[in-house]
Amino acid sequence: MSECDKTCRSCIYSSTVSETGPVTCDYILVTGNRRGCPAGKGCERYIKGERAPSVDQQLYSGRKAEKKEPKEKPKEQKPRKKKPLTPEQLAKKREQDKEYYQRHKKEINKRRYEREKQRQSP
């Protein structure tokens, strides 16, 4: 974007950042190609017509019209209560715990020993 003189005000490639701001040539932004000549008098790319909308207008056009629909709030789920174990289930669970302990006895005791050792050391 290069700053232009008064002749550029009526060009379709000119734009302004604000109402009172300077007029700039946005030829490269619109076409994707370089202009190849200086802006102002003698510009080979000058086309008389309505100016392109300003950068702010391009960025924010249509956003004001968009209305976001409110999102539905997810229903709160109550925590599920666990049913108490029946005597048969409780006995089965204790048996499983004993088997687990027997299989992993060395590892469990080793961890206990390391924890006790850490507690005792200053």
Domain count within the chain: 2
Which residue from 18, 23, 8, 13 is spatially nearest to 52, judged by alpha carbons? 13
More confidently predicted of 28 and 73: 28
Condensed to tens digits (0 to 9), the pLDDT of residues 99-117 reads 988 888 888 888 889 999 8
Residues 6+ apart with CB under 8 A from 106: none
Predicted structure pTM score: 0.39
**Token pair for residue 114?**
């390391």
Residue with tokens 């050792």, as numbered in its chain: 117
Residues 6+ apart with CB under 8 A from 40: 4, 5, 7, 8
Condensed to tens digits (0 to 9), the pLDDT of residues 51-90 reads 656 555 655 555 554 555 666 777 777 777 888 889 999 9
Residue 50, domain member (yes or no):
yes
Give pLDDT, residue 6: 75
Cα 84 from Cα 51, distance rounded (Å): 77
Domain that holds residue 106: 87-120
| Mean pLDDT rounded to a whole number for the chain | 77
Query: Are residues 50 and 97 both part of a single domain?
Result: no
Query: Are residues 92 and 53 both part of a single domain?
Result: no
